[in-house]
């Protein structure tokens, strides 16, 4: 069938995921067959249009962000929705688990910078960076689904708060380093990563 007879309909969704997936698929096919079977597209113009449709800038590289987050594999950098996109889910989880919305937002900011596709070098996934084992324990079947991830992360954070008597600093330390480490050291363990993490979130909560 001639390529021109194929009509590709792309839904104009704010996230822009459909467009990105289509372009990734095109490049994968071209690489596999070693031929330019699709018309060449001005990628800079495409990326600009994608950013406009998504209403946000593309995700930054690891070096630019200064963190260890890695983005899901793909030829094109996936656009990251604006933080406000997740406000309804954050509000719902905060009410469900009796948590502060500000605390949840600060944890998400520190964990993934609101990138639902973020994957750390250790394998933590999604907005609240759930480890595979933790995700399974929380019955989170898709850690990259924002609703599931936020609900699971909020539930785990609530568990840590209950375990440490409502002490936010200890709960955050446990969220990052694990509850056993906090119990072993009687507070935030002497890990630079954990100390920086807790300090960053507490600073955000204090308006710093």
Is 49 among the catalytic positions?
no
Distance (Å, whole) CA 102 – CA 23: 37
Look at residue 82 and give its three-state secondary structure: coil
How far from 78 is each of 22, 54, 64, 145, 195, CA to CA, in Å?
A: 12, 10, 15, 15, 30
**Of 165, 163, 81, nearest in space to 116 by CA:** 81
Distance (Å, whole) CA 147 – CA 162: 23
Catalytic residue among 24, 49, 69, 111, which? Answer: 111
**Of 138, 137, 99, 121, nearest in space to 193 by CA:** 121
Distance (Å, whole) CA 35 – CA 83: 40
Residue carrying the six token digits 């890695």? 70
DSSP E strands, 16-103: 70-71
Q: How many CA atoms lie within 13 A of 194 on its CB side?
A: 19
Catalytic residues: 111
């Amino acid at each position: 069938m001639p390529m021109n007879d194929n009509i590709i309909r792309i839904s104009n969704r704010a996230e822009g995921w459909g467009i990105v997936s289509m372009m990734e698929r095109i490049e994968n096919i071209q690489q596999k067959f070693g031929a330019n079977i699709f018309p060449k597209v001005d990628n800079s113009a495409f990326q600009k249009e994608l950013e406009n449709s998504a209403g946000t800038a593309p995700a930054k590289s690891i070096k630019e962000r200064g963190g260890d987050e890695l983005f899901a594999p793909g030829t094109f950098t996936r656009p990251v929705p604006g933080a406000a996109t997740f406000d309804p889910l954050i509000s719902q989880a905060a009410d469900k688990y009796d948590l502060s919305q500000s605390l949840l937002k600060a944890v998400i900011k520190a964990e993934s910078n609101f990138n639902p596709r973020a994957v750390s070098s250790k394998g933590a996934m999604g907005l609240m960076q759930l480890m595979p084992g933790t995700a399974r324990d929380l019955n989170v079947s898709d850690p990259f689904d924002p609703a599931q991830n936020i609900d699971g992360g909020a539930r785990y954070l609530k568990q840590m708060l209950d375990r440490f008597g409502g002490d936010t600093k200890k709960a955050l330390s446990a969220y990052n380093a694990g509850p056993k480490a906090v119990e072993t050291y009687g507070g935030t363990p002497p890990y630079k990563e954990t100390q920086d993490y807790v300090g960053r979130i507490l600073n955000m909560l204090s308006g710093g």
